[in-house]
Amino acid sequence: MAYLLIFLPLVASFVAGFFGRSLGDKKSQLITCSAVTISALISIYYFFDVALGKQIYNYKIINWISSDKLILNWSIYIDTLTSVMLVVVTSVSALVHIYSIGYMSHDPDKPRFMSYLSLFTFMMLMLVTSDNFLQLFFGWEGVGLASYLLIGFWFKKPSANAAAIKAFVVNRVGDFGLAIGIFLLFKYLGTLNFSEVFQQISSLQNEKLSMLGMEGSLITFICVFLFIGAMGKSAQIVLHTWLPDAMEGPTPVSALIHAATMVTAGVFLVVRCSPIFEYSQFALNLIVFIGATTAFFAATIGLVQNDIKRVIAYSTCSQLGYMFFAAGLGAYHIAIFHLFTHAFFKALLFLGAGSVIHAFHEEQDMRNMGGVWKKIPYTYALMIIGTLALTGFPFLAGFYSKDAIIEVAFQSKSILANYALFIGIFTAFMTSLYSWRLIFKTFHGNFRNKNIDLSKVHESPFVMLLPLVGLSIGAIFSGFVFKDYFIGSYFMEFWNNSIFFIKQFTLNHPPLWFLLITPTLVLAAIPIAYYLFVKNENFLKQFIDTNKPLYNFLLNKWYFDELYDFIFVNPAKKIGKFFWNIGDILIIDGFGPNGFAKIVKLVSDRAVQFQSGFLYHYAFVILIGLSILLTYIIIF
């Protein structure tokens, strides 16, 4: 069954991609949806068998590389960590496939889109079921390729092409770091198999390495490079700029890639490599700092964005920050728990946003929405559920996972624990504020769209609402049902050595006053958001007018894009222009097509004129040639 789980999406992708035109739209959609749904059902079976039944499987597909001592198999490795990721990837992917039937109903290239979705799913499954770093890197690059194809799916749209290229290039920076980390592991350990690397990594504790003018622990260098790869894929600050632009792709793409699967690959990598990271406190501190900073940074930007999908995209960026700083504090299991719950409510929000965009005839600007909660009541109710879960409303999924992360920061002895704690609490408040801003501006207040009439706003079809209902069940119950297994009293048995802890990890019960801080701030943000964005919008306008520089700073995303244009893009363009003008035009073209080649062509054009067909012309040419030859002999 494991082979079906992995390869059904690949087969479906192949069939829809190469035979979609002859099969037709409906058959292509049926094949891809059925294949991924079967994979999702099989992944649920393995979750109960592996995670709850304490089994571990390693199915060998082929012997991939056999060179000297390096023996790598292409395998399907399923432990508890993998089984959790399989459920997340396949269940969300299956619902996104079904949702796409309705959302992409007017698109002329439906088979191609479904093929790309299934290809992405296969690559992500390759990544999470790998038992060695090379197979992981294959899946890692595969999801990068598939994301490029999906983000740029509407290739006739220049902004979509630019966003796809940006995502691809920024991820290559992170992937280069990951590759260096893998090279270092192979150089010093002679293997890339997870089990062998994790067993031998402790032998490198005293090894030093000098690189880039710096000297430090070899394990620290390895961890930092691995984390750079995670930063790129999970859109952490510095390498985050591709994520919001990726909203140019169709909304199902946003839900699949940027909510539940690809962007969580970085968190998965850190947790999978916990036996390595546990030996580098510097790397763990770096993860805490980057994660906490990203959580705050992305939340501040989400407060002022007007594109409904961009608000949710920055929310994803922020929530990934929570996962990373939890992992940096050593709470890898809590990071995965938040990854698990987050997948459901964030995919719900993205698909809900797609339903809103569908109702507004492709309008994405929240300033052109409002007053439609009665027109699209099902979408409204489902997005309310997603928003409550995201903000950590008591007893919904996000409440258990996000509060657990904040509790870890409260009890941790890390030197950056207080930094993470303050940011975690304050970001929770901002998360609630921008989430309810989205709800109030989208559904409440006056109808502000001047391009369409209110009567034309309509609810989405059943095929789009059904996946939302499925995700809402996960958003409500996934935290309560699984908290004892993921992070509660059974967590050590549940994870069954798939996560490595040097010390016994315990989470004590914090004082009541601390437990009440975050829920109180989350609930307080609701009336504040209602007052600012519905009741008294003039107050907000006056505040913006008096704080225009701050507003522009946040609206322009801390000017990261402008900074990168100044430091990297514009100098690269100038260098390219210089080499184009000097190298290509002046030297290559000057000596080539416009130089020697031009002279040869000129001579040949003149020589052709002698081919007149008259005998006396040929005799004249022979005479000239003979004269030149005799002159040469006499002189030399």
CA distance 65 to 604: 56
pLDDT the model gives residue 503 = 60
614 versus 128: which is more confidently predicted? 128
Q: Which of 2-6, 24-28, 432-436, 611-615 has the lowest mean pLDDT?
A: 611-615
Q: Are 433 and 303 in contact (CB under 8 A)?
A: yes
Which amino acid makes up residue 284? L
Q: Are 89 and 31 in contact (CB under 8 A)?
A: no
- Is 610 a residue whose pLDDT tops 80? no
Q: Which of 120-134, 385-399, 520-534, 599-613 has the lowest mean pLDDT?
A: 599-613
601 CB-near residues (< 8 Å, 6+ apart): none
For 200-232, how does the pLDDT look when each residue is reduced to its tens digit (9 = 90+)? 898 888 888 888 778 888 999 999 999 999 998
CA distance 242 to 564: 12
Rg (CA), the chain: 29
- Nearest CA-CA partner of 129 in 248, 42, 226: 42
Q: Cα dihedral sign for 344, 347, 349, 351?
A: negative
Q: Which two tokens stand for residue 500?
A: 């490595």
184 CB-near residues (< 8 Å, 6+ apart): 209, 218, 221, 222, 225
Q: Which two tokens stand for residue 418?
A: 């207080």
When the pLDDT of each residue in the chain is averaged and rounded to a whole number, the result is 87
Q: What's 416's DSSP letter?
A: T
Residue 282 banded pLDDT, cuts 50, 70, 90: very high
pLDDT the model gives residue 242 = 86
| Residue 219 β-bridge partners | none
595 versus 24: which is more confidently predicted? 24
614 CB-near residues (< 8 Å, 6+ apart): none
- Is 296 a residue whose pLDDT tops 90? yes
CA distance 318 to 300: 9
Segment holding 336, helix H or strand E? helix 332-359
- Is 330 a residue whose pLDDT tops 90? no
- Nearest CA-CA partner of 352 in 451, 475, 243: 475
pLDDT the model gives residue 462 = 86
Q: Are 229 and 266 in contact (CB under 8 A)?
A: yes
Q: Which long-range contacts (CB under 8 A, 24 or more apart) does 64-68 make?
A: 64/134, 64/135, 65/134
CA distance 116 to 93: 12
Query: Residue ranges of the alpha helices (H) in 249-307?
Result: 251-255, 265-272, 274-277, 281-302
Q: Are 75 and 60 in contact (CB under 8 A)?
A: yes
- Is 507 a residue whose pLDDT tops 80? no
Q: Are strands 208-211 and 214-217 parallel, antiparallel or unpaired?
A: antiparallel
- Is 42 a residue whose pLDDT tops 90? yes
pLDDT the model gives residue 485 = 86
For 453-501, how does the pLDDT look when each residue is reduced to its tens digit (9 = 90+)? 887 888 888 888 999 999 999 999 988 888 888 888 777 888 878 888 7
pLDDT mean over 502-513: 71
Three-state secondary structure of 109-156: CHHHHHHHHHHHHHHHHHHHCCCEHHHHHHHHHHHHHHHHHHHCCCCC
Query: Residue ranges of the alpha helices (H) in 531-569?
Result: 537-546, 548-555, 560-564
